[in-house]
Chain A
Amino acid sequence: MRYRKERLDRGIKVRCDDVFALSSYREVLYLAMPKVLPVAILLIFPLLKGVVGLYYEKALVITCAISLLALSWDLMASVGLISLGQALFFGAGAYLTGYLNYAFKLSPILTIPLGTIGGALFSTFLLLPVLRLRGVYFAIVTLTLPLLLGRFIDTTKILGGGEGISGLSPLPNLWFELYVAIFAMLVCLFGFRRLINQDYGLVLQGIRDNDRAVMSGAINIYRFKVEAVFIAGLAGSFAGAFMTHYYQFVGIPAFAMDYSIVPLTAAVLGGPGTFAGSVIGAFILVPLSEALRGFGTLRVVFYSAILIICVVGLPEGIFHYMRRKYHQFERRREIG
């Protein structure tokens, strides 16, 4: 008696693959639920303030920030640029926002958008010389840039030096904090997904897979790389800009490795290239790391372990696994 495992699409999935997708409420629900349900939960969550408690809401904001960084990483990875230093975008956005608020007394309504765009421009500009290089070289330089910038600020004592700039304006109110963060994250999530599924995204992925072929198709791959980095930079710098006003402080920790490693781990855990995976990964990791707060730097060791395990054992990430489970089922069949 021998068995073989086989994987089949669920009945409802098969029915959805065709016109029948709209035939009844069940199919529509099946298709829409994975997208709608989490979004609905996210949007309702803040309203449960009284029930859930302030602590979880703070965690939610941080999770959204990390999600943004993870999404930004994922976009860059989709074009073949592996970044070990997302903190660059975060710190750039953070510092610009903090400076605008401190020096010119601009309100967060202005500083955050300006910080986002300015931070993205600055980071993209810094990365320009490196974009022509192969993925590994790019990774190396991205690793060192945030460290160097942090050191630079520390030694030259500009922008607050080692102590940073504190006493910045807060965000208007709690609703603003939560809903802007969630909204920004959802915009980036669905926006990036849309982008990747368009022809534009196809070009980006082509650059990742075979840039010579793309170039001989009369496409300027550098321009596309720059655009991808800038867009990713917008997401990352927004996170930095937003968190600066959330903490009402900006300092060298804005360039800390944490802001590079955690998003990276989240994206890899969730599945590189899936965008939804990055968000899922963040929502798993950030609460987990908050729970492990007592262990100090051991958390980073924990992330490293997860990274290695995922990269070696589950390279496609959690999102693909979940999706497979949702759409397909397995059973054992007798053979022979």
Chain B
Amino acid sequence: MIRSVIVYGLVSSAVLALTAMGFSLTFGISGVANFAYGAFYILSGFLVWALLNYLKFPFVLAIVVTIGVVGGLGFVTYWSILLRVRGVVLSEVIATFALGVGILELFRWLGFVTYEFTLPSFIKGMVVIAGVPVDYQRLFIIGIALALVIFLYFFTHYTRIGLAFRGIAQNERTAISLGIKSDLTGALSLALGSAMASVAAIVILPLGIISINTGYEVLLIAVAVGIVGGLESVPGILVASLILGYAQVITGTYLKPEWMAVVYLAAIVLVLSIKPSGLFGKFKELEERV
């Protein structure tokens, strides 16, 4: 039993990390609110499905096109909507939130609610690790999650664009005066974050069906991971995913499976009461406290 908990906990953590990363990049690191994140996630799933089943695209092409389209959608969202309301927190939140809800409910109205909406796994089959059966798809998830976390860390700490992302979050005026094109950077950040949502969706959705409510859950996960780990910190994403992932699996195995959602609520409330900036969050603490 313990061994399955350990292995599935790892899988669960990887899923959470992968899910949360795009949101953290956009919101935590660049300071651009993206409440349409969950919608982009689900949109990616449906887009791949449509490309595969209606246009009969080869799998690889479908994936690449989807990631590109959703990334582009992120860019366009910033350029058309966020650009006009940047700086007014109320409007940013509401605009992206409305966009997200609009997209998700549009899908619901269009009837994408039956069981036939699934995505194929990358590799079929499974392997047995330490006496626990794990299918390749889940291993793949762990791999991609790890790769992206490492990529994200180096990207935001060592590349010019990545540092620009962090710059516009901390102090936009200073960033502009240093020659960072704040709007372009923000748009790129939203694009990249959305593309990551796409990647996460493509890899994770094969595990189940594409369900509209998952769109809202994705946002919840991203937020929970961000708050627990510290929104602007990449190591924070890692650690928070591990904590929440294992908490989830342990709750599911030893207590009732239905209580898993409560884990998020408890974690959020707990962290916010004790250390509001998150486990690894640093400077945000000053802003929030003061």
- Spell out A's residues near B (CB within 8 Å): 77, 82, 84, 126, 129-130, 132-137, 139-141, 143-145, 147-148, 151-152, 154-156, 211-212, 215, 257, 261, 264, 268, 272, 295-298, 300-301, 303-305, 307-308, 311-312, 315
Contact = CB atoms under 8 A, between A and B. Distances in A.
Main secondary structure of the interface of A (DSSP, over half): helix
B289 A132 contact: yes
B220 A144 contact: yes
A258 to B, nearest CB: 11
A53 B118 CA distance: 48
Contact of A143 (B98, B99, B108, B219): B219
B290 A304 contact: no
Nearest to B271: A129
17 contacts: A77-B90, A82-B89, A84-B35, A84-B97, A130-B272, A135-B93, A137-B288, A141-B223, A141-B227, A144-B219, A155-B256, A211-B290, A296-B109, A304-B98, A304-B105, A312-B81, A312-B95
Given A156-B259, A272-B90, A312-B95, 9 more contacts: A133-B272, A136-B93, A147-B220, A156-B258, A264-B94, A295-B109, A296-B109, A297-B108, A312-B91
Contacts of B85: 311-312, 315
B288 A134 contact: yes
B287 A257 contact: no
A134 B272 CA distance: 12
Contacts of A154: 258
Given A140-B223, A141-B268, A312-B95, A305 B258 contact: no
A296 to B, nearest CB: 6
A315 B256 contact: no
B98 A144 contact: no
A137 B227 contact: yes
B48 interface: no
A280 B205 CA distance: 43
A129 B95 contact: no
B261 A151 contact: yes
Interface string B87-119: 011111111011101100110110000000000
Find the residue from B91, B98, B287 having the highest chain A CB count within 10 A: B98
B225 to A, nearest CB: 12
Contact of B288 (A133, A147, A305): A133
